[in-house]
Structure 1
C-alpha cells in the first residue's frame, strides 16, 4: 500500500472515530468547536509521520530524532488546539453569604485539563500511526526479500543450467568427424541423435519442469550416441518403469550423473566393466539410480564428484528443498548414485 493510501486510510479512521463521538454528543456544536483543531492536528501529525518522520528518521534508524520530532509535534499541536476555540467559562451565580467557606471545603481536583486530553489524543494517534507504518514497512521488506530471493534463485538456476558439460559436445563432434571417414550411415545416425539432444537442451530446458519421458529420451540418445562410435557390445543396462507420462522433473537434473558414470566406468574396455541405469516413477515419487564400475587408473582430470555433481546438489537444494534424498556411494568395486524425489 502506497504512502498516500495509508494516509487516507488512517485519516478516515480517525474521522470516523470523531464522528461517532460527535453523534454520542447529539451533534453538540460546542463539542465540535472544542475538538475541531485536535482533529486537524491529528491529520497533520499523521501526514508528517507517514511522509517524513517514518521514512526519513524511523526506518533509517534515527530513533532519537524521530522521538524528538514526534514529541515536539504532539506538544505543539496540543497547546494550539487547547488554546484556540475554547468555550468561555460558565457564568457563576451570585455567591451566598458564607459561600467562601463552602468553596474552601470543596474537594480539590476535577476533570483533567484540555491540554492533557488533546496531548493524550495526539499521542495515541502517533503511537497507532507508528505501529501501522512499521507493520506496512515490515511487510514491504518481506515482499522485497522474497522477490530478491526468487530473482537470485532464477539467476542461479540459469547459471547452473549453463554449466552443463561443454566437453561432451566437442568430443561428440570429434567422434562424428572421425565416423564420417568410416561409415556414412553411422554418421547420419550420430547427427540425428545429437540434434535431438541439442533440441532438448536449447528448447525444452527453457521450461522450469519437463516431462520425465523427455529426460529419459535424452539419456537414450546419449547412450546411442556413445555406442554408435564402435561396433562393440557395451555392458550397459537400462530399466525404465514410468507410471505416468505426465510426471514432471527439472530438466538436466540426472544427466550429470549419467555423464559421470560413462566418464569413469571405463566402459570402453568392455571386459570387467558395467553401467546400470534405473528410473522408476510413481504418482508422487521418482527414483533414479546409476551404478558403474570404476577404472583402475586414477584420473586427475575431472574427478568423480567434481563440478557436475556439485552443480546437481545446488539445483536439488533450490528446486527440491527437503523433498529429495541423494545418496552417493564410492565403493571399492563401483560408484553408485541414488536419488529419490518427492513430488
Structure 2
C-alpha cells in the first residue's frame, strides 16, 4: 500500500481557511510595504485601493507560479514552457490594467501616473521588466514564500517519518517469515517420528505451539517483553537440540535478565544470528560442531552474543560476508530503523564466527 504524502490540512475546508488567513496577513504586509514605497504618512483611500488591485494581481501570479511548479514536478514540460512564455505578458497586461483603473479613480496622483508612463513604454520581455517582475513578486509575497517553505519542510519530514514507519512494518513482516518452511517441516517430522516412542514428544509439541504463536502472532507487536523473546529463542534451540546428535553438536544458551526492571524489545531481532550460526556452522559439517548463545540484560542495556564453530575447510578462508550474507544485512537495516545510534554490532570470523550485539534501551 502506497504512503500518501503527509499534509497539515485535515480537510479541504481547513486548507481553504488557512489560505485565507495567510492571504490576509500577507495583504497587511503588502499594504505596509506600499505605504513605505509611496512615502505616505497615513494610509489614504487611493493607497488602499491601489494596494488591493496590485495585491490581487500578485497573488494570482503567485498561485500561477505554484501551478507551473506542480506541472514541472509532473513532467509536463510543454505546458510549463507555454505558461512560462505567457506569464510575463500576462503580468504586464494585469499591471497596466491595475494602474489604469487606479488612475481613473485617482487621476491626480503623480506616482500612479509615473508607474503608467514607465510600464506602458517597457516590453514585458525586456531585462528591466523581468528583473522588476521578479523583485516585486518576491518582496510582495515573501510571507507566503516563507510560510510555504516551512510547511513543505515539515510535511516532507512527516512523510519521511511515515515511510520509515511503513518500512519498519515491512521489516517486521519479513522477520515473521524468517523461520524457513523446510525447518518447520523437519521439526514436525521429528515430532511425528517420536510421538509413539518418546514421551518428551508432547513437550516438543507444546514448544512448537509456543514458537509458532510468537513467530506469527505476537511478533506483530512493535515490542515484546524480553522474557517472551527469550522463551522463543529457547524453544527454537530446543528443536535444534532434538534434530542434532548431542554427541556431535553442542548447543548452549545462557541468559540473565533483571526481573525487577524487565525491558521490552523489538521481536525477532536475534533469531537471524542464531539461524546463521547453524546454517554456516553446524549444518555445513559432519564433524564436531557447537553453538554458544548468551543474552544478558544490565539495567537499560542488552548484550547478545552468538559464537559458532566453522568447518575446517572454511576456518582459514572465511570472511564475514561469506557467513553473513543478505540475512545479516537485513538485520542491520532493521536495527538502524529500531535503534538508530543506540546499538553496536560487531562480527568476527577468525577460526570461529562471532556476533556481538549491544542495544541501549530507553
TM range (shorter): 0.7 to 0.9
- Flag the 1:255–1:207 CA change in 2: closer, same or farther, 3 A: same
Alignment of 1:88-167 (within 5 A): 88=108, 112-113=111-112, 116=115, 123=137, 124-167=139-182
Pick which of 78-87 and 202-211 moved more.
78-87
1:275 aligned residue: 291
Alignment partner of 1:319 out of 335, 338, 357: 338
**Selected match of 1:192 from 178, 192, 206:** 206
Matched, 1:180 2:198: no
Is contact 1:78–1:122 with CA below 8 Å preserved after alignment? no
Q: Tell me, yes or no, if the aligned pair for 2:57 and 2:95 is still in contact at 8 Å.
A: no
CA gap 1:289/1:168 in 2 versus in 1, 3 angstroms: same
Inter-partner Cα distance in structure 1 for 2:111 and 2:190: 96
**In the alignment, structure 1 residue 241 sits paired with structure 2 residue 256:** yes
Match of 1:7? 19
CA 1:256–1:153 in structure 2 vs 1: closer, same or farther (change >3 Å)? closer
Q: CA offset at residue 280 of structure 1?
A: 1.0
Give me the whole-angstrom Cα distance separating, in 1, the residues matched to 2:359 and 2:86: 52
What per-residue deviation string (whole Å, max 9, x for no partner) do you get for residues 288-340 of structure 1? 011122334769xxx732443233223223222222222222222x2221111
Decide whether aligned partners of structure 1 residues 68 and 131 sit closer, same or farther in structure 2, where only a CA change above 3 A counts.
Answer: farther
2-side partners of 1:195 and 1:201: how far apart? Answer: 10
CA separation of 1:139/1:44 partners in 2, compared to 1, >3 Å: closer, same or farther?
farther
**Structure 1: 5+ residue stretches without partners:** 90-110
Q: Tell me if structure 2 keeps the 8 A contact 1:46–1:129.
A: no
- Which residue is 2:103 aligned to? 83
TM-score, normalization by structure 2? 0.70
Query: How many residues matched?
Result: 312
Note the alpha carbon deviations across 1:7-47, whole angstroms, 9 max, x for none: 312332245454997xxx8987xx21453143144135324
Distance of 1:295 and 1:311 partners within structure 2: 25
- CA gap of 1:284–1:150, structure 2 versus 1, over 3 A, is same
RMSD across aligned positions (CA): 4.0
TM-score under structure 1 length normalisation? 0.73
Which is worse superposed, 60-69 or 196-205?
A: 60-69
Distance between the aligned counterparts of 1:9 and 1:152, measured in 2? 37
Q: Secondary structure of 1:276's partner? A: strand
Gaps in structure 2 of 5+ consecutive residues: 1-7, 10-14, 74-79, 120-131, 316-321
**1:242-321 correspondence runs (5 A):** 242-244=257-259, 246-266=262-282, 272-296=288-312, 304-321=323-340
SS of structure 2 residue aligned to 1:336 = strand
Rg (Cα) greater in structure: 1
Q: Deviations over 1:108-162 (max 9, x none)?
A: xxx7555549x99964324544454444344434433443343344334423443
Alignment of 1:52-71 (within 5 A): 52-57=64-69, 60=72, 62=80, 64-65=84-85, 68=88, 71=91
**Of 212, 228, 231, the match for 2:226:** 212
For 2:296 and 2:185, locate their aligned partners in 1 and report how far apart those are by CA, in whole Å: 31
The one-character-per-residue Cα deviations of 1:142-197 (angstroms, maximum 9, x if unpaired) are 433443343344334423443433322111111112212432x2221111110010
Structure 1 partner of 2:354: 336
Task: Pick closer, same or farther for the CA change 1:225–1:162 going to 2, 3 Å.
Answer: closer
Displacement of 1:247 in angstroms is 1.1
1:34–1:87 CA contact under 8 A, matched in 2: no
Cα drift, residue 260 of structure 1: 2.7
